[in-house]
Amino acid sequence: MNVSLSLYLHFPYCWSKCHYCAFNSVRYDKPQSLRFLSALKMEIARYGGRPEVRGRRLISLYMGGGTPSIFTADQVLEVLDCGRRHFHFADDIEITMEANPGTVDREKLTALRKGGINRLSIGVQSFQDDELAWLGRAHNSRVARKAYGRAREAGFENVNLDFMYSLPDQRLEDWNRTLDEAIGLGPEHLSAYALTIEEGTRFGADYDHGLLMLPDEERQIRFDEWTRAKLAGAGYLRYEVSNYARPVYACRHNLGYWSQQEYLGLGPGAHSYVGGRRFSKMEDIDAYIRDIEKGGEAIEESESIGPDLAFREALIFGLRKTEGICFDEIRNRYPRTDSGRLQQTFEQWSLDELIVLNPPRVRLSSKGLCLWDRIAEEITAVF
């Protein structure tokens, strides 16, 4: 058994829903949120004693949402302490909490840092107020700057800032101003996500009614390559499709996802990959709470990962990383794979300038990283 494990905890509440957001989140409801916290701690205690988890070293813990920082520091730390009691934390465990700028002050952040959270991920998205309003964010650029400053004052030495680019009317100079300000602040890590349209969101409805158009592929590639070059010049190395970090500050938790390491997800809608099985929790918060309170597992979907699916995921997730994959290692791990067809696919992508072949390694080019979604679809169709 793999002795290391990562843990994801989902906090499903926000003050309001952003226009692009398809994550499992609802408007904050205090009575329900208290029952949720109680259920989450029950679930943590229950899973900590399971044979597939017991004794394994927890190398990362990620609190995402939603907005975990909508809760008080005491509430968050009670959940974290519950994790400590029931899981074996590695000495150098990475503990990340997502935070929205308008939900943190110096006192809360100081308590969270002293309580053991050692990595903060702040959802800034933009330093341009008109873009923030268009995205439906609840903060402005002034509040975002203050949140970052307070994080530093609280003692956080590992901070990520999240951004969104390739917006419909965004000019390259607008995005460049946001990047300049982000670089000037000096976070250890930056995430830059090209806007995507998801079903069930306000933007999704606008797109379906012809009210919203995304930039074309050529423009998106231009923005993507500008971002990579700009951040590389400032000392941020791209290690994954959407993530950049100073040396040694790559996010351990997210790298685990792309490296097919096992992770346990608890909370409404959370996903897990443990023991060759992938499963997800009930998204409906009330249903999740009721099932946990009754002693259940609140599992909504579950599937075993056979060799064919494992092979596809090794390709899809491995190619998200800028280091790519080792072709020989993939072929040896999945001997039944049609390696001839795989080689042919790689050669075609090389002609299309989507990948770089440097035997035995294969990695996506800068253009290929930008078009990773398309490549993932092709892998699924071919294999």
- How many whole angstroms separate alpha carbon 147 and alpha carbon 132? 15
Domain end (from 258, 285, 320)? 258
- How many whole angstroms separate alpha carbon 167 and alpha carbon 135? 9
Confidence of residue 2 (pLDDT cuts 50, 70, 90): low
Whole-number pLDDT of residue 127: 98
The torsion region of residue 341 among left (phi > 0), alpha (psi -120 to 50) and beta comes to alpha
316 and 228 co-located in one domain: no
251 and 153 co-located in one domain: yes
pLDDT averaged over the chain?
95
Do residues 93 and 119 make contact, with C-beta atoms less than 8 angstroms apart?
no
Residue 229 placed within a domain:
yes
For 130-185, write each residue's pLDDT tens digit: 999 999 999 999 999 999 999 999 999 999 999 999 999 999 999 999 999 999 99
The torsion region of residue 327 among left (phi > 0), alpha (psi -120 to 50) and beta comes to alpha
Alpha-carbon separation of residue 240 from 69, 124, 323 (angstroms): 26, 20, 8
Residue type, 237: L
| Cβ contacts of 213 within 8 Å, gap of 6 or more | 168, 207
Span 74-91, average pLDDT: 98
Do residues 75 and 328 make contact, with C-beta atoms less than 8 angstroms apart?
no
Domain end (from 235, 258, 281)? 258
249 and 355 co-located in one domain: no
Residue 271 placed within a domain:
no
Do residues 100 and 139 make contact, with C-beta atoms less than 8 angstroms apart?
yes
Span 47-54, average pLDDT: 92
Note if the pTM is more than 0.85. Answer: yes
247 and 329 co-located in one domain: no
What does the DSSP assignment read for 92-152?
Answer: EEEEEEEE-GGG--HHHHHHHHHTT--EEEEEEE-S-HHHHHHHT-S--HHHHHHHHHHHH
Domain housing 30: 4-258
Domain end (from 258, 290, 320)? 258
Residue 65 placed within a domain:
yes
43 and 105 co-located in one domain: yes
Whole-number pLDDT of residue 382: 80
Span 326-354, average pLDDT: 85
- How many whole angstroms separate alpha carbon 88 and alpha carbon 213? 48
Give the burial string for 170-182 (b: 16+ CB within 10 Å, else e): beeebbeebbebb
75-79, 317-321, 327-331: least confidently modelled range? 327-331
94 and 236 co-located in one domain: yes
138 and 235 co-located in one domain: yes
Residue 249 placed within a domain:
yes
Give the burial string for 44-58 (b: 16+ CB within 10 Å, else e): bebbbeeeebeebeb
Q: What DSSP designation does 248 have?
A: T
Confidence of residue 3 (pLDDT cuts 50, 70, 90): confident
13 and 154 co-located in one domain: yes
In this prediction, what percent of the chain has a pLDDT beyond 90? 88
Residue 284 placed within a domain:
no
244 and 345 co-located in one domain: no
Whole-number pLDDT of residue 253: 98
67-81, 207-221, 290-304: least confidently modelled range? 207-221
- Using the predicted structure, report yes or no on whether residue 340 has a pLDDT greater than 90: no
For 302-316, write each residue's pLDDT tens digit: 999 998 899 999 999
Domains of the chain: total: 2
Whole-number pLDDT of residue 381: 85
Can you give the length of the chain in residues? 383
250 and 327 co-located in one domain: no
Q: What is the CATH number of the domain that holds 376?
A: 1.10.10.920
- Using the predicted structure, report yes or no on whether residue 1 has a pLDDT greater than 70: no
Whole-number pLDDT of residue 383: 78
Do residues 214 and 187 make contact, with C-beta atoms less than 8 angstroms apart?
no
Residue 137 placed within a domain:
yes
111 and 12 co-located in one domain: yes
Q: What is the CATH number of the domain that holds 79?
A: 3.20.20.70
Residue 280 placed within a domain:
no
Whole-number pLDDT of residue 342: 80
53 and 179 co-located in one domain: yes
Residue 279 placed within a domain:
no
